[in-house]
Structure 1
Amino acid sequence: MDLLALTDFNLVARHGGFGRAARAAGRPKATLSRRVAELETSLDLRLFERGARTLKLTEEGRALHERTRVLLAEIDETAAAIATGGDKPRGRLRISAPVLFSQTAMGKLSVGFALKHPDVRLEITSEDRPVDMVDEGYDLAIRVNPDPDESLIGRIFLRDRLVVVAAPSMVRPGDGELAKAVVRGPMSGPMTWDMRSPDGRSSLSVGPVLSLPSLMMVRDAVRAGIGAGRLPISLVSRDLAAGRLVLWGDLDRPEIALWTLYPSRRLLSARVSAFLDHLKEAFPMGTADELAAHIGE
């Protein structure tokens, strides 16, 4: 594939037209049109739908643009790094992170990274859905207990666990009685929380009385005594130490593991490596206590 033609195709796709791309790059419009036509011929694909006054990417053109624009940018950055005699992190770094981790930790992490690496344009998005890293142009994703994906390389950088907590004023009910509960997500009927508690009891029957969309809101409601809640220990450890909450038990379920993920078919850029190092410096042991300390500082 002709990389020059591919570069010109991405230039036209990014600007939405041959004329705008030509003006932005200071290139002849006819040259851009010819190179894109040659690329279409070599691929035997139509990349643009050409109207009298409009130019629109076809489905194949959109896929090619999304999958090659980041790779071309990395080639440019690698060439620039070699030309300047170094591999200093630079360019745009797009990271997708879970909502709770973004709310509690990413702000301070991002500031620290930006101060250390001023040539990197850091862009954080906060969402819990599994993103398509290549199609959506992400360099790095942080996810909780992600499903296996052969196209991605991943490593665990933090571990946490869920606990059941309540306000000191709330009395834990006896066997056969329902405890009021605050839950995240859709409201449901009575349920049982399997857990390991200090007094040896292995389960807790609960009846949700309040449903909220975020764990931060659940913690606030539990603090107020509305009901018991299931929350990460890192989010409530300071409340437990201060006596604002009491521990009823550890949930009997697998640990929470936070992973960093990046596409395996791409070279690891200097900016991604720098952010991975930044996470390692912030959480050298990868424990819930380190995350709690980071949140509480």
Structure 2
Amino acid sequence: MNWDDFDAFCLVVDHGGFTAAARALDRPKSSLSASVARLETELGTRLLERTTRQLRLTDAGESLYRDISRPLAQLRERAVEALAQGTTVQGTLRVAAPYEFGAHHLAAVACRVMQDHPQLRVHLDVEHARVALFERHYDLVFSTMEHNAAPATVVTRRVYSLERGLFAAPPLLAGRETLAQPEELEGLPLLAGGEDQRWSFRDAGGTVAEVEMRNPRMRSGNAEVRLKAAIAGIGVVRVTSTFAAAAVAQGLLVPLLAEWTPEPLKIHALLPGKHVPAKVRVFLELLEQEASGAL
């Protein structure tokens, strides 16, 4: 008996099919199919009913999965723990991040870690929508977590606090006096994030002010959409300063409320467990160097 075939069978069931399992494991679909077929031959029974639309366990398959899936999952976990203690950085690192952060802060880190470790591959998903925590078996997920806490099974490590600013196109501000207080924003159209309830500000003396998002002109979780709307003169946008830097340099946007600092965008690194593999560890170390300007 080949225990790898038993493991392949359980992983196909765990992921709901051969295609999803092959993608998550970075293995050819054909090798998983061959493993399950070989196991069925050795056991002399059908374990999976395959159709064009779904995969269904037979009675024998359900019984086998119930008996062996947990021990094999524990064995895989122990193997991950052992690898985490090692120094070899190899395999595939799967990372997901929100667009506003990933597009401007992770590219250099991903390139550097692959240059330093030729045996490592990186799959970097930059998402406009909220990332579903580890739904696609990521090794590392970056999240703003501004309104929702991570599940208890997820290890949270804060990495970044990104400076944000307020920006608007010059035509939108034409004929208006320079804004001095956050509450004056209520006289302008606002471009809110998908989950923004309020914008918070703090001045040099520590005074805090808030602007409620009662009726924004636009609401979108896509920072790039909001930025383009601001450049088009549709409204005032709150985004990270690095994200708006190019538009400001070209004169397409100007910063507002220079005496007030918007609440920063807090980015957390979320890990699927307490054991950190070497590939994740080196990525986070390089990210911290990038944050400090040492990269």
The 1:181/1:114 distance shift into structure 2, 3 A limit, reads same
Kindly indicate whether residue 265 of structure 2 is the aligned counterpart of residue 263 of structure 1.
no
Question: Does the 8 Å CA contact 1:77/1:91 hold for their aligned counterparts?
Answer: no
Structure-2 residue corresponding to 1:275:
283
Kindly indicate whether residue 189 of structure 2 is the aligned counterpart of residue 180 of structure 1.
yes
Which TM-score applies when normalising by structure 2? Answer: 0.64
Q: CA offset at residue 158 of structure 1?
A: 0.6
One-letter code aligned to 1:222: A
CA RMSD of aligned residues (A): 5.0
Q: CA offset at residue 238 of structure 1?
A: 6.4
Structure-1 residue corresponding to 2:101:
101
Q: Deviations over 1:188-210 (max 9, x none)?
A: 9xx97554468989466886444
Aligned length: 261
State how far apart, in whole Å, the 2-side matches of 1:12 and 1:211 are. Answer: 39
Structure-2 residue corresponding to 1:149:
151
Structure 1 stretches of 5 or more lacking a match?
38-46, 285-289
- The 5-angstrom pairing of residues 78-157 of structure 1 reads 87-127=87-127, 128-133=129-134, 136-145=136-145, 147-157=149-159
Structure-1 residue corresponding to 2:161:
159
The 1:159/1:68 distance shift into structure 2, 3 A limit, reads farther
Structure-2 residue corresponding to 1:43:
none
Question: Does the 8 Å CA contact 1:66/1:137 hold for their aligned counterparts?
Answer: no
The 1:167/1:271 distance shift into structure 2, 3 A limit, reads same
Structure 2 stretches of 5 or more lacking a match?
20-29
State how far apart, in whole Å, the 1-side matches of 2:80 and 2:212 are. Answer: 59
- The 5-angstrom pairing of residues 18-97 of structure 1 reads 24=34, 29=38, 32-34=40-42, 48-50=47-49, 56-58=55-57, 72=76, 75=79, 87-97=87-97
Q: CA offset at residue 111 of structure 1?
A: 2.0
State how far apart, in whole Å, the 2-side matches of 1:73 and 1:239 are. Answer: 47
The 1:129/1:55 distance shift into structure 2, 3 A limit, reads closer
The 1:230/1:66 distance shift into structure 2, 3 A limit, reads farther
Q: Deviations over 1:18-51 (max 9, x none)?
A: xx659856x993x5544697xxxxxxxxx94447
Q: CA offset at residue 157 of structure 1?
A: 1.1
SS of equivalent to 2:106:
helix
Question: Does the 8 Å CA contact 2:200/2:208 hold for their aligned counterparts?
Answer: no
Question: Does the 8 Å CA contact 2:8/2:32 hold for their aligned counterparts?
Answer: no
Kindly indicate whether residue 286 of structure 2 is the aligned counterpart of residue 248 of structure 1.
no
SS of equivalent to 1:231:
strand
State how far apart, in whole Å, the 2-side matches of 1:271 and 1:218 are. Answer: 34
One-letter code aligned to 2:107: G
